[in-house]
Structure formats: structure tokens, C-alpha cells
Amino acid sequence: MEAILYICHGSRVKEASAQAIDFIKVCMQAHPNSIQEYCFLELETPTIEEAYERCVQKGATRIIAIPVLLLTAVHAKHDIPVILNKMKERYPAVDLKYGRPIGVSDKMVDILVERLEETNVRVTEDSLVLLVGRGSSDPDVKRDLSRLADLLRNRLPKIRVQECYLTAATPSFGEALEFAEESRTNQVFIIPYLLFTGLLMQSIENGIKKIQKKGKQKFILCRYLGYHPKIEKAISERIHEVSGGGAYVSNYA
């Protein structure tokens, strides 16, 4: 019997964990005949080990593990596979398949455009759009967010789009705000490339509050990605990729 294991990041903010669980429960509705469990890599329960064991106890003979992460970074390449490999050793008779993160696609850019449009503020040619990613020391994260920024530029002709990062990569969000302040841009749109709320979203809000006190420009904060049918579809695509016989991958290296 096949099981699907949805692996979320985890957060110290309870609202973020609740949002992740609600989102996964919606995703589960597309696969009613499978054993399904959600879990968190860190900071929240159930853990990957706990949810994996639940799948086995329910009779799973094959587990499809899906990292519910936006981009491919250390968590997807190393941290999650390390835990999954240990569980595979514990239950060698259970087949294990590991899927890809959500990744870069036109669907994700569609959502970014929606987040801009729902502000009801026109994105003019003198606007600046900051695409704010979580950040990582992994170069693949910069590559992927740059690709998303390029795709967004193609959708917003003549509009400046600048990617930046909240942690471990440059330009930082703070540096991007300084750049926006020094420019002659009248309005700055900020799109958090985050699945859910949490401490990183709070840091974006705090950064905007500080710079808004200077009153030089208008800063418009868009919603984080949150639940969206196109993200749900992307998750389903990742499941189908590996349920069709793809091999388990211990890492992305």
C-alpha cells in the first residue's frame, strides 16, 4: 500500500504551523486512496520519524516523501534525506521514494503577479518590485530565485524587479530597502516568497515599518504565497513524478 509523507519546514510561530497543516489537508483531498501523513523537519511535531512510523504502522509498503519547500536548498538536499535514509535502514522492506521541492515554474510566477494585483495599487514604470526569498548559503537558492525574478520581469515589462534575501545570501533585504530608498522610485512593492507566515514574515514587516518612518516613498507589502490551487497542483505533480516509478534519491548532489 502506498503512503504519502508531506514534509514541511516547521516554525516557532504557531499560526505558521497551523497554516501548513491546513494547506496539507487540502492537498490530501486529491489522493483519498493513499495513507497520508504530514510532518515537520524542525521546531514542530509530528517529526519526520514519527510520521514515517505512522505510515508503516498503517500498512504502507511504499512511502512517497514530498518536501513541501519552495526551493531546492540544504534542507531538501541533505537534512531531510539524512533522516529518511535512517528510516529506510530501520524499515528496509518499505520502498521509499523522495520527490522534489516545488521549484521554479510559470505557475509560481502567476501567483506573484496575483499578489501584486490584489494590492489594488497600479504597478507603474517608476515602481520597484522586491522579490524577497528566505535565503541560503546554497548557490542553487540564488539561482532559482534569480530565475523567478527573470520570469517576473518578463511579465512586467519596463518594471524593475530586484531579488533579495532574508538570511545567508546577498543582497540582503535590508540592502534592498536601502537601494530602494536611494533610488528615485515613488513606490516599492515587496513580495515575500514565503509559503506561510512566521518569523521571517515578521522581519519583513518590521523592516518596512522602520523605513516608512522616513516618509520618502510608498512601500506596498504583498501577501506571502499562502494556500493557492497552483501550489496544490505543483505538489500533486511532485507526487506523480515519483509514484510513476522514479528512484529514491538520497540527495541532490
Tell whether 34 and 114 lie within a shared domain: no
User: Average pLDDT over the chain, rounded to whole?
Assistant: 93
**Quick one: pLDDT at residue 253?**
32
Positions of E strands within 14-126: 35-40, 62-67, 95-98
Tell whether 113 and 217 lie within a shared domain: yes
> Residue 151 is part of a domain; what is its CATH number?
3.40.50.1400
The verdict on residue 180 lying in a domain is yes
Whether pLDDT at 114 is above 80? yes
Tell whether 132 and 194 lie within a shared domain: yes
The more confident residue out of 182 and 46 is 46
Tell whether 32 and 83 lie within a shared domain: yes
The verdict on residue 251 lying in a domain is no
**Quick one: pLDDT at residue 216?**
75
The band of 34, judged by pLDDT with boundaries at 50, 70 and 90, is confident
Rounded to whole angstroms, how far apart are CA atoms 193 and 71? 10
Tell whether 164 and 238 lie within a shared domain: no
Range of the domain at 160: 106-221
Tell whether 64 and 116 lie within a shared domain: no
Interval 221-234 mean pLDDT: 96
The verdict on residue 63 lying in a domain is yes
**Quick one: pLDDT at residue 248?**
42
DSSP letter string over 114-162? HHHHTTT----TTEEEEEEE---SSHHHHHHHHHHHHHHHHHSTT-EEE
Tell whether 66 and 133 lie within a shared domain: no
The band of 246, judged by pLDDT with boundaries at 50, 70 and 90, is very low
Tell whether 20 and 53 lie within a shared domain: yes
Interval 179-205 mean pLDDT: 93
The verdict on residue 253 lying in a domain is no
The verdict on residue 139 lying in a domain is yes
The verdict on residue 181 lying in a domain is yes
Tell whether 88 and 114 lie within a shared domain: no
The verdict on residue 132 lying in a domain is yes
Cβ 163 vs Cβ 223: under 8 Å: no
**Quick one: pLDDT at residue 183?**
86
Residue 211 backbone dihedrals phi, psi, to 5 degrees: -75, -25
**Quick one: pLDDT at residue 231?**
97
Interval 4-26 mean pLDDT: 95
Tell whether 179 and 215 lie within a shared domain: yes
Tell whether 161 and 117 lie within a shared domain: yes
**Quick one: pLDDT at residue 214?**
77
pLDDT digits (tens, 9 = 90+) for 139-155: 999 999 999 999 999 99
pLDDT digits (tens, 9 = 90+) for 37-76: 999 999 999 999 999 999 999 999 999 999 999 998 899 9
The verdict on residue 37 lying in a domain is yes
Q: How many domains is the chain built from?
A: 2
pLDDT digits (tens, 9 = 90+) for 196-218: 999 999 999 999 999 888 777 89
Tell whether 93 and 138 lie within a shared domain: no
CB atoms within 10 A of CB 18: 14
- ∠ at Cα 14 (72, 117), nearest 5°? 60
